[in-house]
Structure 1
Amino acid sequence: MTTPETPSVTYIETRKGEEFSELILQDLEIALNLAGARPLKGHAWPSFWDVFGRSFAKLRLTPPRLSGAKTTSIIGLMGLAERQLHPYGALHEIVPFVWDCWPSREAEWRDFIRRYALKRIAFTSSQAAEFWSAEFPDIEILWLPEAIDEALYLPGPSLSSRSTCVLEIGRRYAAGHDMVRETLERLGRQHRFKDPLSPMVFLPTRADLISALQASQALLCYPGAVSHPDGRTGHWESMTHRYLEAVATKTLIVGHVPQEMTTLFGFCPGVNVSLSELPDLLKTLTDSPHLFQDRVDRAHSRLLEVGTWEVRVQQLMRFARASD
C-alpha cells in the first residue's frame, strides 16, 4: 500500500519596491522557500501586470473559474494589494496571508474575498480573523501572528551596557513622546527619534534600525488603536513587526503590549505603563536597568519558540495544504 503524497504548496513571489514592509514579505518568501514551498517567479512583464491588477481591482472584476485541479499558492499581502495576485489568481487556489486588514476598508475587503471565492485566509491580526470568521462562516480563517527572522535581528548587549535609554520608530504617539522627551531631558539620558524638521531619513536601512535597537534599553511601542484611534486601525490593535524587533534584539518594550502578543507568548513580554507612570519607570530603567534583564531574556527565549519565520511558515503551509 502506497502512502499518499503530501500535497505540494507554492508561493507567489510578490513584486517589490523599496518599502520596509516589502522586506518583511521578502523574509516570509525566503522562509517558505527554505521550508520546501516552490516559488512562482515574478512575471516577465511586471509593469503590465501591475497596471492590469490595479485595473482589475478598480473595476471589481471576478477572475474566471477555470476547471480542473489547482495548485495551492500562498501569497503574502500587505493590505489590499490585489495587483500582486495577477497573473496567478485564476490559475491557483490562492491562500492569502494578510497584514494590515483594518475596519476602515471593510467594504473593500468583503468585496475582495467574495470576488476571489477564497476558501482559506490567514490574518496577522487576531481581531481581523475573529471579525471575518463571523462574516464568512464557510471560509476557513486563521489567526497567524507576524514573525521575524531571528538570524537578522540579533540580541544586543546587556541593558546596562546600552547608551540610548529610549528609541522611537515609525508612527508617533504624541502624548507618550512628549512625556518621554521631558523625562529623559531631566534625567540627562539619550532619546532617539525622528526629527520632523530634519530632511535626513531616520534609520534609512534595516541594518541601521537593528543597530539602533541593539544600542537602546527600551523601545516605545503603542498600537494604532492607542496612538491614532480615529485612524485606519480603528479599535483593532495588533502585534506589529516593531514589537518583535524589540524582543529579538532584547530591547525592553515600553508602552502598550497588544493582548494578542500576550496570548502568543503566554505572558506579557514588555511593560504596560500609563502615561503618568512613565517617568517613574524611566527613572528605574536609568538607575537599575538590570532589573529588566530577566524580562527581555525570557521574552527572547519564548520568541524562538513561537515567533520566528521557521515556526510560522510551518503553520502556514499546514493550513494551506488543508485546502488541497
Structure 2
Amino acid sequence: MNLKESKKPKLKLLKTDEHEFSRDCIDEFYTCIAGIEGERAVITKVGNLRIKVFFIGLFRRVVSFIQPKISISFSKDINFSAQMGPDLKMCLPYFLYSTKNFIYMFDGWPRFHHELGKLFDLLSVKAIFFSSRDVVAKFRANVHSKCKAYWIPEGINAIEYTFEDYQNKDIDVLEFGRAYKPYHDQIFESLAVRCKKHLFSTTDQPILFKTKLAFKVALAQTKISICIPSNITHPARAEDISTMTLRYLQCMASKCLILGIMPDEMNELFDYKPIIEIDMQNPGEQLLTILDNYANYHDLIERNYLVVREKHQWQNRWQQIEYIISTSI
C-alpha cells in the first residue's frame, strides 16, 4: 500500500533551485513521486535565505559538543528532501516542525559522515537514502546515529528520453560531464583522423549543452557515450567511492552504447555486463573497431534499454523508499 492509498499524512517534497546543475535528476525524481502519490505529494519550494547558513553553522558548532534534538513534533507531514551533497540548509525550517523526516542524498562522501550523523539526530532524520552502496557501508560502519542508512541507487524517468534509429545516429562519440583527460587525449586524434563526429566540452565551451532538451536530442543521436565514475576522474573528491550515476541510465534509455568503466555496484544491479570496458592500452583503435562493427552491439543496447525501463526507473526506487518510510513512521 502506498501513501496515496493509505490515511497517512501529506508528503512534502522539499525543493530548491540553488544548485541549478543538479535540478534535472531531482526534478525527474519528484515528478515520479508526485505521479504515484497524487495530491498527497506536495512539492514545496524552499527559500535560500542567508539566515539558514547561520543556523546550519550554529547547529554544527552545537553538535560538536552535545547531541541535542530540537525538532518539535507539531506537524503531521512527512518531509522528504532529495539533495546533492551534505548541505542540509534546504531542510530548514520544515525538519524542525516534525519527527517524520527523510533524505535522499547524492554525493554523500564519507568525509562528511561523522558530522552528518549528528545533524541527522539533531533534525530527527529517521532514514537517509544514499545513492551509493559503498557510502551506506561506510556510514553504517563508522557513524553512531539513530538515523538508519539505506542504499537506493539513482533512477530515471525513461519516458522522458528518446532515441534515433541506429542508421540515423550521427554523433559517433560523446564525452559529457566529468572529463577523463588521460583517455580523451588518447582518442581525440584517432577519431579526428577518421573524421568521426566527436563531441566534448572544451575550455572555450565548458558547458556542452545549454538546455536539457539539447542534451537529450544529442544523446538520442549518439552511437557511443563515454561513462567513467568520479573515483577515476576526480579521486580526491570522490575518495574511493565508485557508484552508478544517472548518466549510465540516461545513455541506456537513449539507446547509446556505453564505453567506459563500470562501477562495482552495477554488478549487483545487472545480472550481465551492460557496458564495454575501455582498453587504455589501445583506446583509439578500440573505439574505431566498435564503430566499424556497431551493428554487433545492437542486441546489448536493446537489452540495456529494456532492463532500464523494467528495473531502474525512479518508480522502482520509490517503491523501495516508500516501504521504508511506511514502516518507519
- TM above 0.5, yes or no, is yes
Contact residue 230 and residue 242 of structure 2 kept, 8 A: yes
SS in 1 for 2:45: coil
Distance 1:72 1:213 in 2: 36
Q: Aligned to 1:157, which of 143, 159, 165?
A: 165
How many pairs align? 314
Asked which structure has the greater RCO (Cα within 8 Å, sep 6+), the reply is 1
Q: Aligned to 1:88, which of 75, 89, 94?
A: 94
- Residue 186 (1) aligns with residue 187 (2): no
Report the equivalent of 2:41: 38
Deviations 1:258-279 (Å, cap 9, x if unpaired)?
1222321222211112311423
Contact residue 95 and residue 119 of structure 1 kept, 8 A: yes
How far 1:103 moved relative to its partner? 2.7
Report the equivalent of 1:174: 181
Contact residue 164 and residue 192 of structure 1 kept, 8 A: yes
How far 1:68 moved relative to its partner? 6.1
Matches within 5 A, 1:92-107: 92=98, 93-107=100-114
Normalising to structure 1: TM-score of the pair? 0.89
- Residue 148 (1) aligns with residue 156 (2): yes
How far 1:226 moved relative to its partner? 0.9
**Change in 2 beyond 3 A, CA 1:264/1:317:** same
- Residue 78 (1) aligns with residue 79 (2): no
Distance 1:254 1:106 in 2: 32
Structural RMSD (CA): 2.2
Contact residue 9 and residue 76 of structure 2 kept, 8 A: no
Deviations 1:128-184 (Å, cap 9, x if unpaired)?
1111122347543211011111111123322x4322211011211011111221221
Normalising to structure 2: TM-score of the pair? 0.88
Report the equivalent of 1:59: 58
SS in 1 for 2:96: coil
Report the equivalent of 2:288: 283
Contact residue 136 and residue 149 of structure 2 kept, 8 A: yes
Structure 1: tracts of 5 or more residues without a match: none
Structure 2: tracts of 5 or more residues without a match: 63-67
**Change in 2 beyond 3 A, CA 1:40/1:155:** closer
Report the equivalent of 1:313: 318
Q: Which amino acid aligns with 1:167?
A: L
Distance 2:173 2:69 in 1: 49
Distance 1:291 1:136 in 2: 51
Report the equivalent of 2:209: 203
SS in 2 for 1:77: strand
